[in-house]
Amino acid sequence: MARASGPRTRGGGVATGGTEEQIRRAAVHLFATRGFHATGIRQLAEAVGINSSTLYHYMGTKEDLLFEITQDSSRRLIDAASRLSPDLNPQARLCGLVYLHVWSHATHPEETAVVDNELRSLDGERLARAVELRDRYEDFWADAIADGCTSGTFAVQDRRIARIALLQMCSGVAGWYSTSGETSLRDLTTTYAQMALSLLSCSRDHRTIERLLDDLDLQPVVAAAWPETTPSPR
């Protein structure tokens, strides 16, 4: 349990946030970079600067920690997607989903990578719950694609394959994008939205999509889904 909301002890507490949040952050980083099974409980403690036994004052088992991380990240994506206006045309809806997904994966690559790659380390019941959340999120995409296809805006050979391909392509952003690189977040999201529309046989000019995304004004949505956006670079 442990309710930590403010108290810092020990001198020299340079790190930001409470101990519990530090643990969470270190776990996200280690799980994303080395993998769940390759991350030792002592490594995690060392990254936080505490003894390994102290970890268990703040968390349950190591797997509990992984589960909570994945649930949290999954829910953020679902929250963001569900905030999209329901009466958008298919084109705008799809662009919005791409924007939210790519923005999340670009600015929080570790959280999203853990969800994308480490679900298999969950046991049966937790895996089922995690998959359920993932499926709920993918339904937003399935609905948008179906809408566009029935209305004639999109044209694809196979809707399910198109959905899988789009999600896979957009998730890849977490693996390579760096905010310190030469591509801005604005260009990145626009480029992916353009590729997504093209893949759905609905090509649009880059500037057109840029304006479309500007009009959607989704920055408040991602800000609500990922509140404590860190000032740290990376």
Binding stretches for its own copies (CB under 8 A): 33-35, 37-38, 117, 120-121, 156-158, 161-162, 164-166, 168-169, 171-172, 175-176, 183, 187-188, 190-192, 194-195, 198-201, 203, 206
- The residue (of 5 and 157) whose beta carbon lies closer to DNA is 5
Cβ contact 95:144 at 8 Å:
no
Could you tell which of its own copies, DNA, none binds residue 198, using a CB distance below 5 to 8 A set by kind? Answer: its own copies
- Helices in the chain by DSSP H: which ranges? 19-33, 41-48, 52-58, 62-82, 90-107, 109-117, 124-150, 159-171, 173-176, 185-199, 206-216, 219-225
Could you tell which of its own copies, DNA, none binds residue 85, using a CB distance below 5 to 8 A set by kind? Answer: none
- The residue (of 22 and 74) whose beta carbon lies closer to DNA is 22
Q: Does 33 help bind DNA (rule: CB under 7 A)?
A: no
Closest approach of DNA to the CB of residue 8, in Å:
5
What one-character DSSP code corresponds to residue 157?
S
Q: Does 2 help bind DNA (rule: CB under 7 A)?
A: yes
CA distance readout (Å), 13 to 23, 183, 221: 14, 35, 33
Task: Kindly tell me which residue out of 33, 34, 35, 63 binds DNA, with binding defined by CB under 7 A.
Answer: 63
- The first and second tokens of residue 84, run together, are 């999209």
Cβ contact 45:80 at 8 Å:
no
Q: Which residues bind DNA (CB under 7 A)?
A: 2-4, 6-10, 19, 37, 39-43, 50-54, 56-58, 61-63
